[in-house]
Amino acid sequence: MKDDLFKTIEKFEPQMVSLLSGLIGIPAISPLGGGTGEYRKAAYIAESMEKMGFGKPEIYNSEDPTAEEGVRPNLVFRIPGKTSRRLWIVSHMDVVPEGDRGLWDTDPFKAVVRGRRIYGRGSNDNCQELVSSVYAAAALKELDLTPEFEVCLCFVADEEVGSVHGIRHLIKEGLFGPDDLVIVPDGGNEKGDFIEIAEKSICWIEFTVEGKQVHASRPGLGSNACRAANELSCALDSALHKAFPDEDKIFDPAASTFEPTRRNANVPNVNTVPGREVFCFDCRVLPNIPLEDVMKVVDAEIRKIQEKRNVRVTYEFLQKEQAPAPTPADSQVVNILRDAIKDVYAFEPHVGGVGGGTCAKYFRDEGIPAVVWCQESDVAHMPNEYAEIDHMINEAKVFALMMLNKN
DSSP 8-state secondary structure symbol assigned to residue 270: T
Catalytic residue among 38, 94, 125, 158: 94
* Contact between residue 20 and residue 111 where contact means Cβ atoms under 8 Å apart: yes
Q: Rounded to whole angstroms, how far apart are CA atoms 132 and 138?
A: 10
Closest alpha carbon to 338 in 153, 328, 359: 328
Q: What is the CA radius of gyration of the chain?
A: 24
Q: Rounded to whole angstroms, how far apart are CA atoms 242 and 381?
A: 35
Angle (nearest 5°) at CA 24 between 6 and 48: 60
CB neighbour list of residue 281: distance below 8 Å, 6 or more residues apart: 203, 204, 205, 207, 233, 236, 258, 259, 260, 261
Q: Rounded to whole angstroms, how far apart are CA atoms 352 and 273?
A: 47
Angle (nearest 5°) at CA 400 between 72 and 8: 110
Active site residue 159: yes
Q: Could you give the count of Cα atoms lying within 13 Å of 336 in the half-sphere of its Cβ?
A: 22
What angle, rounded to 10 degrees, do the helices at 128-142 and 2-11 form? 120
Catalytic residue among 148, 159, 196, 388: 159
Q: Rounded to whole angstroms, how far apart are CA atoms 237 and 289?
A: 17
Closest alpha carbon to 178 in 403, 366, 402, 407: 366
Q: Residue type at 207?
A: F
* β-pair type (75-79, 150-156): antiparallel
* Contact between residue 405 and residue 339 where contact means Cβ atoms under 8 Å apart: yes
Active site residue 94: yes
CB neighbour list of residue 293: distance below 8 Å, 6 or more residues apart: 243, 244
Catalytic residues: 94, 159
